[in-house]
Amino acid sequence: MAEIWDLYDRDGNRTGETWVRGFGNYKDIPEGRYHLGVDILVVHEDGTYLLMKRSDDKDVYPGFWEASAGGSALSGEEPLEAATRELLEETGLVPDSMELVNVLFKDPSRAMFYSYLARVSCDKDSVTLQEGETVAYKWLDKEAFLEYVDSENTIGSHNQRFEKYINTLR
């Protein structure tokens, strides 16, 4: 079944318009309209950060490690609801708390991203992989996490969405 997204204006208000994922290119979304994306950075109560390895079958950044779970909000979903769903789908984790750390508009991709910090206290081996999406996971301490985000092996757009938070760690 195709995903249906609500479209939003630059102020973050639903316009009443929808978009079917896969119907043309993101750039075909009308100018001044955006779909809602969410990213979730996961930090464990022991201070480690979760990285997930993307499947080699992914169209974008195949085989890369990424420091976030995420995706697009479905029609009718609020940002926090979408973030909680995406986190559960991609990691199997239910957060103890979620904190909104940034909202970023990406005009070329006609998207606005709500970025959350999810705090968890789960068994670190309880992470589950999503078939077709992720193939491995690892937890990094703060120093290793900062080395990762500063490396060329990172997904720069994800770092940009979490830049304000990452800068508080330095």
The pLDDT tens digits of the residues spanning 28-82 come to 899 999 999 999 999 999 999 999 999 999 988 999 999 999 999 999 999 999 9
Q: Which helix (H) or strand (E) holds 157?
A: helix 156-161
Q: Please provide the average confidence, as pLDDT, over all residues in the chain.
A: 93
Cα–Cα separations (whole angstroms), residue 59 to 32, 62, 84, 164: 26, 6, 24, 28
d(CA 121, CA 96): 7
Residue 80's CB is within 10 A of a number of other CB atoms, namely: 14
| Least confident range of 18-32, 54-68, 107-121, 125-139 | 18-32
Tokens of 36: 């809602």
| Least confident range of 24-33, 85-94, 134-143 | 24-33
Q: Which amino acid is at 158?
A: H
| Domain count of the fold of the chain | 1
d(CA 168, CA 82): 25
Q: Kindly indicate the confidence band of residue 152, based on its pLDDT and cuts at 50, 70 and 90.
A: confident
pLDDT, residue 153, reads: 84
Look at the block and give the residue holding tokens 């206290």: 121
Query: CATH no. for residue 148?
Result: 3.90.79.10
> Please, which residues have CB within 8 angstroms of residue 71's CB and are 6 or more apart in sequence?
37, 38, 82, 86, 89, 90
Counting Cβ atoms within 10 Å, is residue 118 exposed (0-12), middle (13-18) or buried (19+)? Answer: buried
- Residue 149 is part of which domain span? 4-169
Whether residue 136 is predicted with pLDDT greater than 90 in this model: the reply is yes
pLDDT, residue 21, reads: 86
